[in-house]
Amino acid sequence: MRLMSKIILIICIVVSIVSIPAITLLWKNQQKTVREQAHIRAQAIYQMIVVTRQWVADNREAVDPVPAVVTKELAKYADHMATFKFHITSDRLVNPENAPNNFEKYALKKIENDNLLEYADVHIDDNKNKFYRYAAPLYINQSCLACHDNQDYRIDDVRGLISIEFPLEEMENSIASSNKITSYAVIIGLIILIASISFSIYMLVIRHLRTLQKAADAMRLGIREETNIETDDEIENLSLAFDQMSLQIVNNEEILKSNLQQAVSKYIDLVKELELKNEKLDSLNKLKSDLLDSVAHEIRTPLTKILSYSELLNDERVLRQSDMREKFTLALKHNVNVLKNMFNDIITLSRLEHDQHTYHHIPIQIEYLIQDLIYNNEIDIISKNLQIMQHIEPYTINVDGETFSIAISNILSNAIKYSKENGVIEINGRKENNNYILTFKDYGIGITQEDILKLFERFHRGANAKKEYPGTGLGLSIVSRIIKAHKGNIEIQSELNKYTIVTVTIPLINDCNK
Q: Where exactly are the structural domains of the chain?
A: 3-177, 357-507
Output the pLDDT for position 468.
60
Q: What is the pLDDT of residue 89?
A: 82
Among 150-159, 176-185, 219-228, 460-469, where is mean pLDDT lowest? Answer: 460-469
The hierarchical CATH code for the domain 357-507 is 3.30.565.10
The Cα 207–Cα 210 span in angstroms is 5
Summarised one tens digit per residue, pLDDT across range 166-187 is: 888 887 777 767 766 777 777 8
Give the pLDDT of residue 514.
53
Under 8 Å between Cβ of 396 and 364:
yes
pTM: 0.39
Helix axes 322-353, 300-313, angle to 10 degrees: 150
By percentage, how much of the chain surpasses pLDDT 70? 75
Length of the chain: 514
CA 476 to each of CA 271, 418, 502: distance values in angstroms, whole numbers, following the listed order: 35, 14, 11
The confidence score (pLDDT) of residue 359 equals 76
Q: Are strands 424-432 and 387-392 parallel, antiparallel or unpaired?
A: parallel
Of 11-15, 90-94, 408-412, the poorest mean pLDDT is in 90-94
What torsion do the CA atoms of 231, 234, 236, 241 make, to the nearest 10 degrees? 180
**Is the model's pLDDT at 142 over the cut of 80?**
no
Instruction: Quickly name the fold that domain 3-177 has.
Output: Beta-Lactamase (3.30.450)
Number of Cβ within 10 Å of residue 95's Cβ equals 10
